[in-house]
Amino acid sequence: MEIKPRISETDMLGHINNASYFVYMEEARLTFLKELGMHVSNGEFTFVLVSTKCNFVRQGYVGQVFDVQTDVSHIGRTSLTLISEIAEKESGKIIAKGEATIVYFDTVYQRAAELPDSFRVKLKANT
């Protein structure tokens, strides 16, 4: 997915603030799941973020266009881990690499729930 950084996402040094990369990865993660046909939340079940990290490879700036690629790296019983690469679109150079683990969560019983088989099939097709 394409991201066009805004001036409000920069810091005092003029480059994209580190916190903004987590927002970009979240947007890409939700878009990725939606494109797979996985409902992120249906009232009884939702996905909750349990872990995330980002390695900043080089600086990004307003005026650049980022291409964020998201892929599945691990499918567990109740969770999945997605990896993201954020590249500057024109050059293809990697700006940042990230990872997020999300848990399928039962909102009624307030605990992790087993991933539905239909989700597993869709996710395995993208590993």
- pLDDT tens digits, residue range 30-65? 999 999 988 777 889 999 999 999 999 999 999 999
Instruction: Look at the block and give the residue holding tokens 């954020």.
Output: 86
Lookup: tokens for 64? 């650049």
Beta bridge partners of 64: 62
CB contact at 8 A, 31 and 90: no
Separation of alpha carbons 57 and 44, rounded Å: 39
- pLDDT tens digits, residue range 58-68? 999 999 999 99
Which CATH number does the domain housing residue 31 bear?
A: 3.10.129.10
Separation of alpha carbons 80 and 105, rounded Å: 12
Q: How far is CA 9 from CA 22, 73, 83, 105, in A?
A: 11, 28, 22, 31
Q: Where in the sequence is the domain holding 98, given as residue range(s)?
A: 2-124
- Phi then psi for residue 29, to 5 deg, are -65, -45
Comparing CA positions, the residue from 8, 6, 10, 27 lying closest to residue 18 is 10
The total of structural domains in the chain comes to: 1
- pLDDT tens digits, residue range 67-91? 999 999 999 999 999 999 999 999 9
